[in-house]
């Protein structure tokens, strides 16, 4: 990147909570936030938003008569966007851009309306507008009273980081200097989980840590789904109050031999990481927040890619899916949040069930990875903001 971009604010909601203080406190312990949930046809591990935060979501639903019939994927995004923007000096007249992605979109509403159609042969009047993927960004634009541009998209599990890519591209193009980017998922439905179980990737154990993300000794897949939203405010240049600075972005897609897996050495990750790193000295990178979904092949292939790029000098490695689940589109942005918190607090977050690593001497540059079905990888390099607030 020929110019740096600031992350001036982050708003999120996940199984770890919705405030930076609570999220960071929950990262500092070795507990996971996965819970067993009974569905009609099975009992599985999931990562739900805490009940106290669900109350905030219901307040938003009741704050505007037009929000009454919106899917939780939209309401989660509205909540996170409000939290992000309220910590900036952004105004509606700034006409900042919006790009919010979702892998599944309004899956709960879609399943509800489809079931009604099968039972009655009729569709609800509002079924289409409330389940169209593009309505997430549109509703945030309405809520923030900005005129856009507005973009919504789905690129499987790397969707959130692709939103960041788009925001960076728009800003660097000179067409705008502020962009709201993010991801939102409310996909803890029985049908969605059944799809993951059909792929044989879902956790099916009762151990202390159901999701063994980044544990290369596991012999079975241990992915667990979570829900949540994460929204970032991006601005051109190095802003004194910025949470962190985006120094590089990278992306790649590889030709696959299977619908869900990437190559053994994750060629897409190798390319995306190299692009994001650019001319930065690899020894300056203190940590990598891995995608690490908790699957046997997924975790190993990403580590193989890291070894190929970094050789013997591998940075500190971590991930958060063992703690808050795989939130599809939101996952990469929650990983950004973890990276920012580690930089701000100058503390590495370990994965408790893997071999202990030495703490980095400093936490100034962190690389974040995400990849989804189709081998579409994204890597983002962020750094500490060295300008005094």
Beta strands in the chain (DSSP E): 5-13, 35-38, 43-47, 97-101, 150-153, 178-185, 225-226, 228-236, 244-253, 287-289, 316-318, 365-372, 376-383
In a domain, 388, yes or no: no
- As a whole number, mean pLDDT of residues 361-366 equals 96
In a domain, 389, yes or no: no
pLDDT at 389: 46
Q: Print the domain residue range for 181.
A: 5-383
pLDDT at 375: 80
Number of domains in the chain: 1
In a domain, 244, yes or no: yes
Strand, helix or coil at 388? coil
Give pLDDT tens digits for 58-117. Answer: 999 999 999 999 999 999 999 999 999 999 999 988 889 999 999 999 999 999 999 999
Whole-prediction pTM value? 0.96
Count CA atoms within 13 Å of residue 146 on its CB side.
25
In a domain, 86, yes or no: yes
Q: What CATH number corresponds to the domain at position 253? A: 3.40.47.10
What's the DSSP call for residue 369?
A: E
In a domain, 280, yes or no: yes
pLDDT at 258: 56
In a domain, 212, yes or no: yes
97 or 1, which is more confident? 97
Q: Are the CB atoms for 267 and 24 separated by under 8 Å?
A: no
In a domain, 379, yes or no: yes
Q: 202 pLDDT band (50/70/90 cuts)?
A: very high
**Cα–Cα distance between 355 and 156 in angstroms, integer?**
30
Count CA atoms within 13 Å of residue 204 on its CB side.
14
In a domain, 371, yes or no: yes
């Amino acid at each position: 990147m020929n110019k740096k971009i600031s992350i001036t604010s982050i708003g999120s909601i996940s199984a770890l909570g919705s405030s930076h203080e609570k999220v960071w406190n929950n990262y500092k312990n070795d507990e996971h936030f996965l819970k067993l949930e009974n569905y009609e046809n099975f009992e599985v591990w999931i990562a739900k938003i805490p009940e106290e935060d669900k109350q905030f979501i219901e307040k938003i639903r009741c704050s505007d008569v037009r929000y009454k019939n919106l899917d939780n994927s939209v309401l989660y995004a509205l909540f996170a966007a409000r939290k992000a923007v309220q910590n900036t000096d952004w105004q509606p007249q700034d006409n900042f851009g919006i790009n919010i992605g979702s892998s599944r979109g309004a899956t709960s509403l879609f399943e509800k309306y489809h079931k009604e159609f099968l039972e009655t042969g009729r569709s609800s009047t509002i079924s289409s507008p409330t389940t169209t993927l593009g309505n997430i960004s549109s509703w945030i634009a309405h809520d923030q009273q900005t005129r856009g541009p507005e973009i919504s998209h789905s690129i499987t599990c790397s969707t959130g980081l692709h939103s960041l890519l788009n925001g960076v591209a728009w800003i660097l193009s000179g067409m705008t200097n502020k962009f709201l980017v993010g991801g939102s998922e409310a996909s803890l439905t029985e049908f969605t989980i059944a799809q993951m179980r059909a792929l044989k990737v879902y956790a099916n154990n009762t151990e202390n840590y159901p999701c063994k993300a980044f544990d290369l000794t596991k012999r079975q897949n241990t992915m667990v789904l979570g829900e949540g939203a994460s929204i970032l405010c991006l601005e051109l240049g190095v802003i004194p109050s910025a949470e962190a600075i985006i120094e590089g972005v990278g992306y790649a897609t590889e030709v696959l031999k299977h619908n869900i897996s990437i190559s053994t050495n994750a060629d897409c990750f190798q390319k995306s990481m190299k692009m994001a790193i650019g001319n930065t000295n690899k020894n300056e990178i203190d940590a990598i927040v891995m995608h690490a979904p908790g699957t046997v092949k997924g975790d190993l292939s990403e580590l193989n890619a890291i070894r190929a790029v970094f050789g013997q000098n591998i940075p500190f490695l971590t991930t958060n899916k063992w703690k808050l689940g795989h939130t599809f589109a939101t996952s990469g942005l929650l990983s950004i949040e973890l990276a920012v918190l580690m930089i701000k607090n100058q503390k590495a977050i370990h994965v408790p069930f893997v071999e202990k690593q030495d703490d980095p001497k400093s936490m100034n540059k962190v690389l974040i990875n995400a990849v989804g079905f189709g081998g579409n990888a994204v890597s983002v390099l962020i750094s500490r903001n060295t300008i005094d607030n």
